[in-house]
Amino acid sequence: MAEHDEEFLRRAAQAKTRIVQISPQQARAQIAEGVTLLDVRSDAEFHEGHIEGALNLSADEFASRIETLLPDKQAPVVCYCRGGNRGALAADKLQQLGYTQVSSIEGGLSAFLADGDCADAAREK
């Protein structure tokens, strides 16, 4: 798991106060309804395993590609990363850009996998 510096963790903690965090169970319900899943990890992390159907947009590409990838700012979007911090920052950024139905999986992919059936996640896609 990536180690984050104190400044990053401080920014993530602040973002978490401004966004909606959902549980893995809530994420599963939204996935069943067809929500857009946004995996904000690196390409390499994404290819190691991800939630089936997720779009991958790493933090490096976020600013330049988000509005092309997600043109409907009213569509529901669930962000996630490995542990919840990058996902929270991405959700916060989406809100700042005018997206209105954004959330982040609390605890990220790690919590999602720990909570349920690993068949929900794609491996080596």
What pLDDT was estimated at residue 103?
98
- The predicted pLDDT at position 125 comes to 34
* Residue 22 DSSP SS3: strand
Q: What is the pLDDT of residue 119?
A: 40
Summarised one tens digit per residue, pLDDT across range 4-28 is: 899 999 999 999 999 999 999 999 9
Burial class (CB in 10 A: 0-12, 13-18, 19+), 48: middle
> Letter for the amino acid at 60?
D
- Spell out the alpha helix ranges (H) of the chain: 6-18, 24-32, 43-48, 62-69, 85-96, 108-115
Q: What is the pLDDT of residue 122?
A: 43
Q: What was the pLDDT predicted at 10?
A: 97
pTM score, whole prediction: 0.89
Looking at residue 117, its pLDDT comes to 55
At 116 the pLDDT is 74
What residues of the chain score a pLDDT lower than 70?
1-2, 117-125
Pairing of strands 77-80, 55-56: unpaired
SS in 3 state form for 83-117? CCHHHHHHHHHHHHCCCCCEEEECCHHHHHHHHCC
